[in-house]
Structure 1
Amino acid sequence: MGHLSEDMTKETVASTAWRPQREQLLIEYINTCERFQKAYRKHGNKYGLLQHTEEPKHQWETINMNWATGLVPGGKQNFNAFLIIVDRFRESVRSLPSHKEHTAMDTALIFWNNLISTCGVPKIIISDRDPKFTSELWTNLYDMLGTKPAFSTAYHPQTDGLAENTIQTMEGIIRKFCEYVLVSTLNLNNLKGTKKIKHSFLGPFTIIKLIGENSVEVKLTGEFSRKHPVFPVCLVKPYFQEEEDMFPSRKKNPTPPETVEVEDTPGPVKKILKFRKMRLNGKGQRQYLVRFKNQTADTDRLLAEDAILDGDLHLRRFRACQAESMLKK
């Protein structure tokens, strides 16, 4: 029996059949339908409680940081990104010109020279889980400054509505300004085809524990096991399993398992061997040939800088070796 929503199914069945406890049985049938649970999007109020961000008492005490990228290069240094910093006390904004290719060290220098030196040390920094902000270098910087990092939950970056809206507005202004100066055709070559229709939900998975009030840790299995296991509760919903032989006419053929693209790397990085420069969408980029721990040269792989685990550490070692080799020559 195929069916849509609960109300539409009730209406269809009411015109053709009747039996005692018909509505209760229909609800049970729909709720335990595995295909329906995976394909039907959840509507209405989301699970979880709103968590209020602590109100700052002084200027630049609590800030939000994010990136505006994908901009037309401009200026003498061909800046193609902005580090946008929002002060939650006065809602003032600073847009610091940068490059998308900047490392965690480059970002830290921009942050230090343009904010800390003029506005002081913030008490709380709210940001997404950008690899630059979660790197070992930035972790040490937080400790040194006595600053508390507040990262958004994985898969749910809506950390602070005020700051997110400000950043979106700034991005719109910057991009609009660039449109008046130069018209970029890069995006015309980057249009992707429509993705294959997939289920809205995956699973079922077992909840291991509640983290805080609005997140859960889930036991991911199979090819999902390498994904981050913590999700906000607004992205999960209960799974209803039907009792055995309750609906014998229902097809029991299991739906084929969903697949996700997972970066299949052989393990942690041992060292960077060399790099190459290449042009992608008209922009110069670097790729690094990486050797993995306990692996042979057969598993060496070219990776972008932001795809290298503990990239800052390995890049520092690689550049130091390069400098030493040049001195010997």
Structure 2
Amino acid sequence: MKTTNRHMLRWQIAIQEYRGNRTMIYKEGKSHTNADGLRRWPLDNVKSNPAYDPEVAAKIPIHLMEIDRKKNFRFSEWEPESCTLESGNTDSEGTETPILVISSSELHTEFFSAVLKSYVKHKQCGILLQLLQQKYRSPDLESQLEEPGLRAYKDNKFLLIDGLLYHRERYTSALTVVDRDHISLILQECHDYPYMGHMSEDRTKERVASTAWWPKWEQELGEYINTCERCQKANRKHGKKYGLLQHIEEPKHPWETINMYWVTGLFPGGKENYNSCLIIVDRFSKSMRCLPCRKEETSMDTALLFWNNIISTCQVPRIIISDRDPKFTSEFWANLYDRLGTKLAFSTAYHPQTDGLAERMIQTMEDILRRFWAYGMEYKDHEGYTHDWVTLLPAVQLAYNISQHSTTGKTPAVVEKGWNPLFPVDHLKKNLLTIHPTAKDFHDMWTRACETAARCIAEAKEYNKQRWDKTHMEPDFKEGDQELVSTLNFSDLRGPKKMRDSFVGPFTIIRLIGKNAVEVKLTEEFSRKHPVFP
């Protein structure tokens, strides 16, 4: 060889220690039919082997032993065995060379003994053992094999080593197990234990494939991981969320359907030390009312506040969409609206999207107030007067109601009343030519504004549904099912939030509430929680 590359040079250095004991003889490629022996499956030196050499068979007793890679073993020169190996063109016929063997003292011999016993009780394994022990094919025995064992046998994927069946796939071989207890043990060893980490199906499949084999093992592995209790509770849910967007019956007139929501935790303000705010939104005109109140007020106080500010100035709404506040669930509140002919439509617990309109109004209100409260709990105007959030609420309400809404394309004041209130800046337009419409023209204009608002609301509703449904799917829950519940709705669980399980349960579904919520039977540990979940 004239030149040597780095690959050959490394091998030359590696075999230096064998100099004097071995002689390497070059063999031409056309006569070297069994080249690359280290990467090929070992074949016994028997007569059925095309490369059978009787001289080698007489001198070298070959014993193969597969070792479960999951068990602990060690390499040692424990009582080295000796055998005669040909050394090429040497003076002596052979030399006595110690062979490095693998000590099996650490292996679980009881497990392999149990596997051997399970073969005796299994009919298909018994047939395979007979076929592999014979030196010729037996059509009668092969006809008794079932799939997938028959296909694997015809593809020469089974090996018989020390009485144990091994299934080989490309460059790996795995012990064949048939007993259900052994299969369960393999699955637990490859998935459940801390050093395996409860990994995903693909990662666990790689471990099982190199350890054990049994018919339909991939399907059983998938079922095992999908039903793993720890994985279901600890893993986070990915993909589409449950619950398609459900349409709320849209109103046809102002103040026919309203949203109500309480904003709590505010800094005490005003002469009455208000610490909460009741947000009321008309779903048709998008008009908003901001009513300061106290968190400690009873349902009677809330009813009086609603009567003085909504019923007396607007009308009695037909549908009220609200959160599950105790004020609304009290017997007095329900009876009051039953006499008024109002249908209470509570939003689903832990599902604020039902009350999304009020939620968005709250964000807008807080944004406006925050601009004036940037440096304290009070705001001082350019004339030196001090204002807190209570005195600013009417201005916030007016500013919102005269601003164009993205859904209707008009201001809430125009849709509700047909005109916008005048402000000092509007008096600058007094010299402009104005046309005063007649009563009929005004009625037509208001009617067109309402029709436009209704059409825009319907279009916006359909657009929102299409966007929502792209990332959600329809749930397939049924009464009596056992389901896990997300821990996002549980704030009193022990331990740090990042280390908590993603789900708790399972709980039994008692009844379905609409299409996107269920009522479950909670255990005693969570008996104080509201039993309705999305």
| TM-score of Structure 1 vs Structure 2, range by shorter chain | 0.5 to 0.7
Relative to structure 1, the CA distance from residue 174 to residue 67 in structure 2 (aligned partners, 3 Å threshold; closer, same or farther) is farther
Q: Answer yes or no: is the 8 Å Cα contact 2:278–2:290 preserved in 1.
A: yes
User: 2:471 matched to which residue of 1?
Assistant: none
CA distance in 2, matches of 1:201, 1:160: 25
Q: Answer yes or no: is the 8 Å Cα contact 1:104–1:132 preserved in 2.
A: yes
CA shift for structure 1 position 53? 0.3
CA shift for structure 1 position 80? 1.9
Q: Work out the percentage of aligned pairs sharing the same amino acid.
A: 71
User: 1:67 matched to which residue of 2?
Assistant: 262
User: 1:219 matched to which residue of 2?
Assistant: 521
CA shift for structure 1 position 9? 4.0
CA distance in 1, matches of 2:366, 2:324: 19
SS class of match (2:320): strand
CA distance in 2, matches of 1:70, 1:226: 23
Relative to structure 1, the CA distance from residue 194 to residue 90 in structure 2 (aligned partners, 3 Å threshold; closer, same or farther) is farther
Query: What is the aligned residue count?
Result: 222
Note if 1:158 corresponds to 2:369.
no
User: 2:271 matched to which residue of 1?
Assistant: 76
Note if 1:37 corresponds to 2:250.
no
Stretches of structure 2 lacking an aligned partner (at least 5 in a row): 1-190, 192-196, 379-493
| Structure exhibiting the larger radius of gyration computed from Cα positions | 2
| 1:224-239 paired onto structure 2 within 5 Å | 224-232=526-534
Note if 1:141 corresponds to 2:336.
yes
Note if 1:13 corresponds to 2:315.
no
CA shift for structure 1 position 90? 1.4
User: 1:106 matched to which residue of 2?
Assistant: 301
Relative to structure 1, the CA distance from residue 54 to residue 8 in structure 2 (aligned partners, 3 Å threshold; closer, same or farther) is farther
Relative to structure 1, the CA distance from residue 208 to residue 99 in structure 2 (aligned partners, 3 Å threshold; closer, same or farther) is closer
**Cα displacement string for residues 152-180 of structure 1 (whole angstroms, at most 9, x for unaligned residues):** 11232321333322223223433553444
Residue in structure 1 matching 2:317, options 122, 139, 161: 122
Residue in structure 1 matching 2:244, options 27, 49, 58: 49
CA distance in 1, matches of 2:358, 2:511: 30
Letter in structure 2 aligned against 1:30: I
SS class of match (2:328): coil
Note if 1:170 corresponds to 2:365.
yes
Note if 1:210 corresponds to 2:404.
no
Relative to structure 1, the CA distance from residue 24 to residue 173 in structure 2 (aligned partners, 3 Å threshold; closer, same or farther) is farther
Greater relative contact order (Cα 8 A, min sep 6): structure 1 or 2?
Answer: 1
CA shift for structure 1 position 48? 3.1
CA shift for structure 1 position 18? 7.0
User: 2:399 matched to which residue of 1?
Assistant: none
CA distance in 1, matches of 2:361, 2:201: 40
SS class of match (2:278): strand
Where do 4+ consecutive residues of structure 1 move more than 6 Å? none
User: 1:85 matched to which residue of 2?
Assistant: 280
TM-score using structure 2 length: 0.38
CA shift for structure 1 position 16? 4.5
CA distance in 1, matches of 2:370, 2:266: 6
The 10-residue stretch of structure 1 (158-167 or 99-108) with the greater mean CA deviation from structure 2: 158-167
Relative to structure 1, the CA distance from residue 23 to residue 101 in structure 2 (aligned partners, 3 Å threshold; closer, same or farther) is same
SS class of match (1:204): strand
CA shift for structure 1 position 89? 0.5
User: 1:321 matched to which residue of 2?
Assistant: none
Relative to structure 1, the CA distance from residue 176 to residue 73 in structure 2 (aligned partners, 3 Å threshold; closer, same or farther) is farther
| 1:160-309 paired onto structure 2 within 5 Å | 160-182=355-377, 195=496, 197-232=499-534
RMSD over aligned Cα, in angstroms?
2.6
Letter in structure 2 aligned against 1:170: M
